[in-house]
Amino acid sequence: MRRYSTHNKRKRLNPVLLLVLLLTASLTILLGRAILTTDYQTERLGDDVAQFQKLSGVESPVTAVLLNFRGYDTLLEVMVLLMAVVGVWSLTQAPFPGKPIEPGPVQLAVVRLLTPLMVLFAFYLVWKGSSLAGGAFQGGAVLGGACVLMLVSELPWIKNIPSRHLRIGLLAGPFVFLGTAILCLILEGTFLAYPQGWAGSLLLLIETACAVSIGLTLACLFAGGRPKDDLSRGRKR
């Protein structure tokens, strides 16, 4: 019913909106022309990746690009995620739950069965990232899903997690990544240039740490604020 009532009004367009619509349409036409006229055959980075694939220590080209060839990007990106958590934590305290509701038996069973499976699958994805699809981001996302599942069921112990543990987990990824980079700087003379033969295992180490902190980051973003005990604890020590 609501639909029909608004349907009648649709013909009268606001002049400002009409202008916006025109501008958007012209931008769309310009971009469409750009898409049609781009020559994709000349510029290719895939050949370079395929050429140096053996040096990267992993078989999957996407993981090689992410963590080896463009490791700098990924390092900064993990930092960006950390910054997002810093932003959220400085804005507000974790507001949920407003009024806690007891989870029903079905939901408890689902959480109990599903969470270990998700954690297992997350690390499987991280491990598989070296050869096929998968890697730190995907594994971290699944891990974050497991954490969100526990958060959303408001299990009683989840409120009592000391925030220091959380901080350690959040920092693990960037810290390991940065540490490896500095180690490479000392050993090889270049930032993030992994030593020959060690690249594969170093990448796996970095990926595991990053997956843990990405998962925790996503869970903290979902929780929507810093833990309750965070600031008081900081003041005491």
Partner 1 sequence: MMPYSILTAFDIVLISTLLWLAWKMLRSEDLFKAVVLFISFGLLMALAWVRMRAPDVALAEAAIGAGLTGPLFLSALRRMERLHKDERRVNIDEERKSETIFHTQQKETP
Partner 2 sequence: MITNLLYSFGGLMLFSMGLFALIACSHPLRKILAINVMATGVFLILIATAYRQIGTGEIDPVPQAMVLTGIVVSVSVTALALILACRVQETSNHSLIQRKKDDFTRTGT
Partner 3 sequence: MSYLHTSCAFIILCAIAAGMIRILQGPTAADRMMAAQLFGTCGVAILLLLAKGLDTIVLLDIAMVFALFAALASITFVRRAWHEQTGASR
Residues engaged in binding partner 1 (CB under 8 A): 2, 6-7, 9-10, 12-17, 60, 62, 95-96, 98, 125, 132-135, 137-138, 141-142, 144-145, 148, 152, 218, 221-222, 224
Among 59, 61, 148, 175, binds partner 2 (CB under 8 A): 61
Q: Should residue 14 be labelled a site residue for partner 2 when binding is judged by CB under 8 A?
A: yes
Enter the tokens of residue 90.
């400085």
- Residue among 175, 178, 169 at smallest CA distance from 218: 169
Nearest distance, CB of residue 38 and partner 3, angstroms: 27
With CB under 8 A as the contact rule, which of the stretches 49-57, 67-75, 112-120, 178-186 interacts with partner 3? 112-120
CA distance linking residue 137 with residue 142, whole number of Å:
9
Q: Should residue 79 be labelled a site residue for partner 2 when binding is judged by CB under 8 A?
A: no
Q: Is 82 or 114 the residue whose CB approaches partner 3 more closely?
A: 114
Q: Which residues bind partner 3 (CB under 8 A)?
A: 101, 103, 107, 110-111, 114, 117-118, 121, 125, 128, 132-134, 138, 142, 145, 148-149, 152-154
